[in-house]
Amino acid sequence: MAEAAIPAPARRPVLAGRVKAALVLFGLFAALPPVAAAAGDPFLVLIATRILAYAIAAMALDLILGFGAMVSFGHAAYLGFGAYAVAILASFGITDIFVQIACAAGVSALFALVTGAISLRTRGVYFIMITLAFGQMAFFFFISLSAYGGDDGVGLRSRSTLFGTDLLENDVTLFYVTLAVLAALFLACHRIVGSRFGRVLTGIRENPVRMEAIGFTPFRYQLTAFVISGMMTSVAGVMLANQAEFVSPAFMSWHRSGELIVMVVLGGIGTLAGAIGGAVAALVLEEALGMMTEHWPFWFGLFLVLMVLFSPRGITGFVEKLGRRRP
Site residues (vs other proteins, CB under 8 A): 2-3, 6-11, 191-192, 194-200, 202-203, 206-207, 209-217, 221, 224
Which residue lies nearer to other proteins by CB, 11 or 324? 11
Tell me how far, at minimum, the Cβ of 191 lies from other proteins, in Å.
Answer: 5
CB of 47 vs other proteins, minimal distance in Å: 33
- Residue (of 45, 158, 21) closest to 91 by Cα position: 158
C-alpha distances (whole Å) from 249 to each of 74, 141, 254 are 13, 9, 10
Burial 13-23 (b: 16+ CB within 10 A, else e): eebeebeebbe
Q: How far is the CB of 162 from other proteins (least distance, A)?
A: 26
In angstroms, give the least distance from the CB of 178 to other proteins.
23
User: Please, which residue, 207 or 293, has the CB nearer to other proteins?
Assistant: 207
Least distance (Å) from other proteins to the CB of residue 236?
A: 20
Closest CA to 57 of 310, 292, 302, 282: 282
CB of 228 to other proteins, least distance (A): 8
Query: Please, which residue, 68 or 80, has the CB nearer to other proteins?
Result: 68
Q: Report the distance separating Cα 231 and Cα 60, nearest Å.
A: 9
Listed in sequence order, the residues at least 6 apart from 276 whose beta carbon sits closer than 8 Å to its beta carbon are 22, 25, 55, 58, 59, 182, 186, 267
- For other proteins, the closer of residues 1 and 309 by Cβ is 1
**Cα diameter, the chain:** 67
Among candidate residues 60, 113, 35, the one with its CA nearest the CA of residue 240: 60
Nearest residue (CB) to other proteins, 172 versus 188: 188
Distance of closest approach, residue 68 Cβ to other proteins, in angstroms: 14
Q: Is the CB of 61 or the CB of 156 nearer to other proteins? A: 61
165 φ/ψ angles, rounded to the nearest 5 degrees: -110, 165
Of residues 29 and 67, the one with the C-beta less far from other proteins: 67
CB of 196 to other proteins, least distance (A): 4
Count of C-beta atoms within a 10 Å radius of residue 141: 14
Q: What are phi and psi of 96, to 5 degrees?
A: -60, 125
Inter-CA distances, 107 with 155, 268, 283, 303, Å: 21, 29, 28, 37
CA distance 140 to 10: 49
CA 156 – CA 241 distance, rounded (Å): 8
Nearer to other proteins, 4 or 291 (CB): 4
